[in-house]
Amino acid sequence: MTTALSTTAAKAPQAGVDLLRIVRINEEIKSVVNVAFKINIMALNAIFLAKRAGVAARGFGVLSNELRVFSQDLRDCMSSLTSLVHGCVNDVSLMLQDIRHTRLLRHAAEMTNGTRMAEVLARRERENERHAASLASQRKQLKRALEDAFRMVELGGVLAKSAKIEAAYGQSFAVPLSQVSSEFDGIVEEIRASLESLRHSAFFAGR
């Protein structure tokens, strides 16, 4: 029993670090959502500009619409990530609570030798293990979801670069179309860099 309790207590620093890492991940996800909203506004403006440019910018208009759809899909994806992050926060919070309760029970157990207290401590340890297993599962799901989001953003990058190519055919509108497409490319790259950073978060290493 003493070994199990010592193991539980040793988890406290790691749980605290995990909580900080999850909070950072959540803040980065919020940032991506804000940027995705910006792409949506830009895409709507680009579609309007393409209509003004006429037939010469038809391809650019199609790609702009795809970028608008991409921004909406990305926001939906980030919403799913946020739900997973909240699940991780809940599990870590429960683990920290379990650890605090176990520590208090351990002190109480040191003053008594009753089997009843030993049973309570064993039950508390099982609860902690259950929450740890839940966190491990949530961690894997979040990692997979981030990989999916990263692949989605890579596709967005292809769309943005294709828009830059199409902008060159915009005739008298080529310059403003090129400016818009360059902004698309820059913003998508910003999102890609953010997700790349999240993919390599120490939270997923579990140490």
pLDDT in tens, 67-87: 999 999 999 999 999 999 999
* pLDDT, tens digit, 9 for 90 and up, residues 82-97: 999 999 999 888 888 8
CA max distance for the chain: 88
Q: How confident is the model at residue 5 (pLDDT cuts 50, 70, 90)?
A: very low
Mean pLDDT of 98-110: 76
pLDDT the model gives residue 196:
92
CATH T-level assignment (fold) for domain 2-205: Substrate Binding Domain Of Dnak; Chain:A; Domain 2 (1.20.1270)
Q: 30-42: per-residue pLDDT in tens?
A: 889 888 888 999 9
Domain ranges of the chain: 2-205
Query: What is the pLDDT averaged over residues 117-125?
Result: 77
pTM for this prediction: 0.81
DSSP-H helix ranges across 58-114: 58-110
Are 194 and 149 spatial neighbours (Cβ–Cβ below 8 Å)? Answer: no
For tokens 């509108």, name the residue: 173
Q: Across residues 126-146, what is the average pLDDT?
A: 89
Tell me the C-alpha distance between 35 and 107, whole Å: 50
Residue 193's pLDDT is what? 92
Give the phi and the psi of residue 206 in degrees, each rounded to 5. 65, 35
